[in-house]
Structure formats: C-alpha cells, structure tokens
Amino acid sequence: MPQDVAPVRVPSYEKRSDWYIISDKQAEIVGHAPLIFLDGKRGIWVAHRSHLPLLGTEPRADALPPVCVRSELADGTTLRDYQEVGAEFIGQRRGTLLADNCRLGKTAQIVAAHDPASGSMVVIGPLAVRGVWLDWWRRRWPEIEPVVLTGRKYDPDTFVDHPLVFAHYDILPSWTSLGLRDRIGTLVLDEVHVLSNPKSKRSIAALMMSPAAEHVVCATGTPLWNKPAGLWSILSICNPAAWGSFKEFTAAYCSGAPGPYGWTTGAPSRVEEFQTRLEAVMLRRRWRDIRDELPPCTRTVEIAPLNANQILQIDKLAESIREELSQGADFSSPTLIGALARVRRLVAARKAPIAASAACRVADSGERVVVWVWHKKVADTIARRIKRATPYVVTGSVPERNRARILDEWRASENGVLIISMGVAPAGIDLSQAAHCIFAELDWTPATIGQAEMRTFSPSRPNFVTFVVAEHDIDQRLVDTLTTKCEMAAELGVPAMDTAGDVMQEVFARDVAVVDLASLANRISARVALPTQFAGLL
C-alpha cells in the first residue's frame, strides 16, 4: 500500500548512488530487508531504490536523473520501441541487471544509453563478445578507435582519456584500478553470469571496480533467478551495499544459517520480497513478450537429390536402427550410434554441394552468410566449392586462439561465407552480421538447432533460414520433428527440452506416415518466426 511520504534522493550521497531518504514509518515497514540503514549524523533513514517497491512507492520524478537516449545511431540503425524502453531504464538507474533473452539487442540498448559526457565506456566480457562490442561502437561512434586491453601488466597510459575500452575477464584482476585516474561513465559486465561465484578473482575485481563508475550494467541472457545465492555478487556489483553482505543477503533470501561446518544456504526464502526488489533494478523481456515487434523470419527448404543406391543404403541402415530400438536399445548403444553416424555421413555427402550452391547465391548478392555443419569433412567440401567469395571455416580442428580472429575477418568481409560447426559456437557469440543462415547438417537435439538459428537472428531486420533436406524420408522426418518440437516449445513458453533420443524414436518409428516434400516445405516456412530455444526462458 502506498505510504504517505514519497522518497527523495539523499543529497549528501553521490547523485548516482540510487539511495533515498525514507520516513521513520517507512523504515519500520522495511527495516528487516538488507540493507536499510540509519545515517546517525543526520538522523535520517536511507533506503536503496530496490526497497521502495516494498513500500508501494517510487522515487519522485524530480529526483530522477535526466536521460538522453540515442535512438538512431550514426549508421542509420534505429532502436525498436522495447529497446528504447530498455535504454531509458538503464539511464535512470545507477545499476541495472539487463536480462533480456538472447538476441534481443542488449548491446544496442546499452550503447544507446551511454552518455559520453559522463566518462568512458568500459566493457568487460568474454573474448567471444569482443567483436560484437567493437561493431556496435563503430555504429554509434565511427570516428573513435576503441582500446582493447591485453595482457596482465597494468599500464594506465593505454586507457586514460580513451572513451571506449574493452577488456576480457581473464585479465580483469590485473586492471582493477580502472577508473581511479579516469572517469568511467558506464561500466558493462557482459555475460555477467560468470561472476556468480563471489570468491573468484574476477568477481572480487569487479566488486572493487564498480564503485568507480557512474553507471553499471550487468548483462546476461542466462537464467539465474532460481538460485538467489549466485546473484549476490552480481547484484552487489550493480548496486554496492544495497543487498548487504553475503551473510545478510543469504539469511534473507536463501535460508542462510550457521551450520556444523560454517555458513550454509538452502532453498529460496522471502521469494516475493526478493522478486519485488529485483524488478526495481532488473529488466527482463522474453521473446514472447515482444513478439509483435520482431521482424519476420523466412524459412525455406532446399532439396538434395539421392540416387537409387544411396536410398537403398539409407533404407538398410534405417531398418537396422529400427530393429535396435524395438529391442529396447537406447541412444548410447554402440551399434545404434554407428548406424546413425553412417546415415548422417551418407546424407551429408549429398547435402554439402546443395548447401554450397545456396551459400554462393547469397554471397553473389553481396551479403554474408553462415553455413552450419557438424563434420569437418562436410565443412571442407563446402569451402572448396565456394568460388566467388571467401570461405571462413571454424570447426573443432581450428585452435581456439585462432577462432576469434577468423570470426572478426568474416565480420569485416563484404560477402564472406562462414562455415561453422554447431559444436564450437560459444554462448554470447554474435553472427548477426549475416541475415542468412543455412543448415547443411542437423543436430538431433532441438535445443542445439534453436541455439544455432539464434546466432544470426537480429531484431533490426528480416531473417532468413534455409534447411538443406535430403530426398529421403528419414531426413525429412528429422527436419519436420525438430522444427515441430521447437514450435511447440515456443507456443508453450518453455525451452525445447527433448533429447536426441526422443527425436530418434519419432524419426525411426515404423508407423509414421511418409513426409510429403511439398507439405514439409510449407509447414517449415509457416512456423514460429523466432529462435525458439529461448522463447520461454525466465
């Protein structure tokens, strides 16, 4: 119930701190929540912004900082409505946990919210996301050359007075003095779920660095909300002191208590209070929440013909797989795995040239394209067939230290063809520089297909997905089953949880009707037009 005294910003604290004066009556109501405290010198009660919803009140409008959102970037990119809302949310808070689902444009929102007059923009994240930030910085500030920190030797001359700075988590503990000699306007911790361990060196370094920033944004698309103890360090980076010490926080929200061997945590406690406080500093939109604002995704099918001998080989292998399944074999059976691997190799050999032709058509139109594969041999076959564009290959055989360089070179190309294995695409990787992706091969797990499709999705333009399907009922059933399961997950608002074994049981079932190619193409093109693996994640 709203209280009779509206909170005002504490004048004696830094204007960016998000702390507010509350009345004695209000303090009695929320005094149990960490961390309400009494400023003894002034005789006033002080509460963090996240406490105010517990009182049914909000900061007075004149206590909020002015927000200047850049809704159109230098390259002409325009934010969507939900992204403008996100940028304003960031600008009005000292600390923000931005938890939108993957590929909804968290980077764009943060870049649009940053005010260069407040100081430098410093981004800490995994190496895999470095190219994403460099690309968005170029879109908004093409005249500025960002600084990328490398090595563990602290050298302030490399970043002082530089408006845009990127560093990766592995070197963060060596650079905790960032901000002491130069103002940080916006400190961004990307893929911040890696800081959920408060005892790790990188988490300690981030906790030391965050008080020096005017604004702090912690960004992640990975759900953490069912494990409040893992959120303490992240929330403390966003809002120093607002959530109390680890013991205070876990005692309040994680059933924390002394145990025989030290402090222990248990099931979430005071859940409603915690969620209420979290909503004051966290912004989380799901795909289904903003589905009407998303651009269309066009799905098409390319048919790979098979000759009579290839069809006969696949028929024999399929029958042996059905026999194994009928005898109760599971997905780990060596015989089953061997037969399935042979089916995949036979099908892939025919699909590779078709996938290469489809990729060449996109490249010839002057656009980049991503081709998804599983086998190195298939990747090499496709690469050899790319004649009028440059192929960029990233598979498990490419050393990890070289992958980021290859991806950056592909992003900088005009019409490069990226041929990449689904097994080496890490969380956070952004391939949205390509509007087209082609599945030359398929994984049997719906979640993997959803994740791969999500990599090229962009909310700022139409998206195109092509499935190369062999002219055999087994491959057609596989595509139909995978896309159906992803669609059902999206409609239900849950992740696609089916295993490879679940899919295999359906694909090789004896009583399933033969899939008609024309109807398959129609069904795929009409299905849910968004990366469904993340459709319902919290």
Query: Which of residues 99 and 499 earns the better pLDDT score?
Result: 99
401/528 same-domain check: yes
Domain boundary among 285, 315, 347: 285
The residue among 516 and 87 whose pLDDT is bigger is 87
Q: What mean pLDDT is predicted for residues 236-258?
A: 91
Q: What is the 3-state secondary structure (H, E, C) of 200-249?
A: CHHHHHHHHHHHHEEEEEEECCCCCCCCHHHHHHHHHHHCCCCCCCHHHH
Q: What is the largest CA-CA distance in the chain?
A: 89
One domain, residues 183 and 221: yes
State the pLDDT at residue 493: 43
483 in Cβ contact with 524 (< 8 Å)? yes
What angle is formed at CA 377 by the lines to CA 373 and CA 383, rounded to 5 degrees? 75
Residue 75 inside a domain? The answer is no
Cβ neighbourhood burial of 356 (10 Å; 0-12, 13-18, 19+): buried
pLDDT(202) > 80: yes
Angle at 445 between CA 443 and CA 447, to 5 degrees: 110
Of the two residues 293 and 98, the one the predictor is more confident about is 98
What is the predicted pLDDT for the residue at 142?
93
What is the rounded CA–CA span in Å between residue 137 and residue 140? 5
User: Which residue range forms the structural domain that includes residue 33?
Assistant: 8-63
Rounded Cα distance, 456 and 462, in Å: 11
**Residue 61: φ, ψ to 5°:** -55, -35
Report yes or no on 257 lying in a domain: no
Is residue 255 a part of any domain in this protein? no
Residues 186 and 330 in one domain: no
Q: Which has the higher per-residue pLDDT, 371 or 528? A: 371
- pLDDT, one tens digit per residue, over 111-158 is 999 999 889 999 999 988 888 899 899 989 999 999 998 887 777 777
Position 497 pLDDT exceeds 50: no
> Are 105 and 233 in the same domain?
yes
- Position 228 pLDDT exceeds 50: yes
- Mean per-residue pLDDT over the chain, rounded: 81
Q: Are residues 193 and 311 in the same domain?
A: no
Q: Please give the pLDDT value at position 473.
A: 78
Q: For 334-347, how does the pLDDT look when each residue is reduced to its tens digit (9 = 90+)? A: 777 777 778 888 88
**For residue 534, what is the enclosing H or E element?**
none
pLDDT of residue 6: 55
525 pLDDT higher than 70: no
Q: What is the mean pLDDT of residues 37-51?
A: 80
Segment 10-43, tens digit of pLDDT: 544 544 568 888 888 888 888 777 777 777 667 7
Which range scores top for mean pLDDT: 117-126, 338-347, 395-404, 466-475? Answer: 117-126
Q: Is 45 found in the same domain as 112? A: no
Q: Examine the domain organization and report whether 271 and 352 are in the same domain.
A: no
C-alpha distances out from residue 344 to 82, 151, 204, 261, 466, Å: 42, 43, 47, 52, 18
Instruction: Answer yes or no: is 247 within a domain.
Output: no
Q: How confident is the model at residue 527 (pLDDT cuts 50, 70, 90)?
A: very low
pLDDT of residue 537: 26
Least confident of 5-19, 199-213, 270-284: 5-19
CATH number at residue 443: 3.40.50.300
Q: Is residue 402 part of a domain?
A: yes
**Of 82-86, 241-245, 520-524, which range is least confident?**
520-524
Q: 417 and 470: one domain? A: yes
Tell me the percentage of the chain whose pLDDT exceeds 90. Answer: 34
pLDDT band at 326 (very low <50, low <70, confident <90, very high): confident
Residue 438 lies in a domain: yes
Residue with tokens 């091969």: 441
The pTM of this model reads 0.72
Three-class SS of residue 121? strand
Q: According to the model, what pLDDT value does residue 225 have? A: 57
Write down the pLDDT at residue 12. 44
Tokens 């946990």, residue located: 97
- 265 burial level (CB within 10 Å; 0-12, 13-18, 19+): buried
- Say if residue 479's pLDDT is above 80: no
CA nearest to 140, candidates 97, 192, 87: 87
d(CA 160, CA 260): 49
CB 64 within 8 A of CB 93: no
- Please report the pLDDT score of residue 398 as a whole number: 92
More confident: 418 or 430: 418
pLDDT at 515: 52
In terms of average pLDDT, the best of 105-109, 321-325, 497-501 is 105-109
End-to-end Cα spacing for the chain: 27
Tell me: do 35 and 132 sit in the same domain: no
Same-domain pairing of 281 and 295: no
Q: Are 61 and 6 in contact (CB under 8 A)?
A: no
322 assigned to some structural domain:
yes
Residue 259 in any domain: the answer is no
Query: Does residue 202 contact residue 173 with C-beta atoms inside 8 Å?
Result: yes
Tell me the Ramachandran region of residue 164: left when phi exceeds 0, alpha when psi lies from -120 to 50, beta otherwise: beta
- Output the pLDDT for position 536: 27
**Same-domain pairing of 102 and 125:** yes
**DSSP percent split of the chain into helix, strand, coil, nearest 5:** 45, 15, 40
Do 422 and 348 touch, CB atoms closer than 8 A? no
Residues 6 or more apart whose CB falls under 8 angstroms from that of 21 comprise 7, 8, 9, 10, 44, 45, 46
Identify the CATH number of the domain in which residue 226 sits.
3.40.50.10810
* Cα 14 to the center of its chain, rounded Å: 32
Whether 210 and 114 share a structural domain: yes
Q: Is 71 exposed, middle or buried (0-12, 13-18, 19+ CB in 10 A)?
A: middle
The neighbour count for residue 278, using CB atoms within 10 Å, is 20
In the chain, the number of structural domains is: 3
